[in-house]
């Protein structure tokens, strides 16, 4: 899982850079919730905003990366894979579960990246003269996220739906 862990480290560094760079520059209170058309309709202190942001990143990242890590410890009956008997047989189990772990971890990296990028848009909106969240950019990021996390089950299904010839 080297690649996803490197991605996680880069995401953590980006969040630290966001906090160092923007925290002192943000208004207090700041717009933290936006309604239709990107118009702010909820505010919070900078401290509360960053606390919720970091807590959400930690909870979601910890849950998804934790799930990937626990995959080898959960009972086989709880794992749903095509051709499970073949792919989870002893000679292939470690490699198969490692592949699924990497896919879950990459999915987690995509979700966390989405959170960092949308938060960056919120930060920039708070620093702008006209505080209006760019809804089109949020929608684009959301579409990208949906595509990213949809690829994981597709890749897993594609990989395990075919039994390799001996």
pLDDT score at 159: 94
Share of the chain above pLDDT 70, in %: 98
| Residues 6 or more apart in contact with residue 121 via CB below 8 angstroms | 133, 134, 137, 138, 141
- The per-residue pLDDT for 164 is 72
pLDDT-based confidence at 2, cuts 50/70/90? confident
- What are 60-117's pLDDT values in tens digits? 999 998 988 899 899 999 999 999 999 999 999 999 999 999 999 999 999 999 999 9
pLDDT of residue 3: 87
* Whether the predicted pLDDT of 165 surpasses 80: no
Residue among 150, 126, 124, 148 at smallest CA distance from 137: 124
**Strand segments (E) across the chain:** 30-34, 40-44
Residue spans of the domains in the chain: they are 2-21+40-160
pLDDT in tens, 4-61: 889 999 999 999 999 999 999 999 999 999 998 999 999 999 999 999 999 999 999 9
Tell me the whole-structure pTM to 2 decimals. 0.89
Mean pLDDT value across residues 131-147:
94
By percentage, how much of the chain surpasses pLDDT 90?
Answer: 83
| pLDDT band with cut points at 50, 70 and 90 for residue 129 | confident
Residue with the larger pLDDT of the pair 52 and 163: 52
Buried (b) or exposed (e) across 149-158, using 16+ Cβ within 10 A? eeebeebbee
């Amino acid at each position: 899982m080297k690649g996803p862990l490197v991605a996680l480290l880069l995401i953590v560094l980006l969040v630290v850079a966001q906090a160092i760079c923007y925290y002192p520059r943000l208004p207090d209170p700041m717009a933290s919730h936006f309604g239709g058309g990107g118009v702010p309709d909820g505010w919070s202190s900078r401290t509360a905003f960053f606390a919720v942001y970091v807590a959400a990143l930690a909870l979601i990242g910890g849950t998804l990366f934790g799930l990937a890590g626990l995959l080898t410890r959960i009972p086989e009956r709880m794992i749903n894979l095509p051709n499970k008997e073949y792919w989870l047989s002893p000679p292939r189990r470690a490699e198969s579960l490692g592949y699924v772990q990497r896919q879950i971890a990459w999915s987690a990296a995509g979700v966390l990246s989405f959170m960092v990028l949308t938060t960056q848009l919120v930060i920039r909106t708070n620093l702008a003269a006209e505080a209006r969240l760019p809804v089109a950019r949020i929608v684009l990021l959301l579409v990208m996220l949906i595509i990213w996390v949809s690829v994981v089950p597709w890749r897993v299904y594609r990989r395990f739906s075919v039994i390799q010839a001996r």
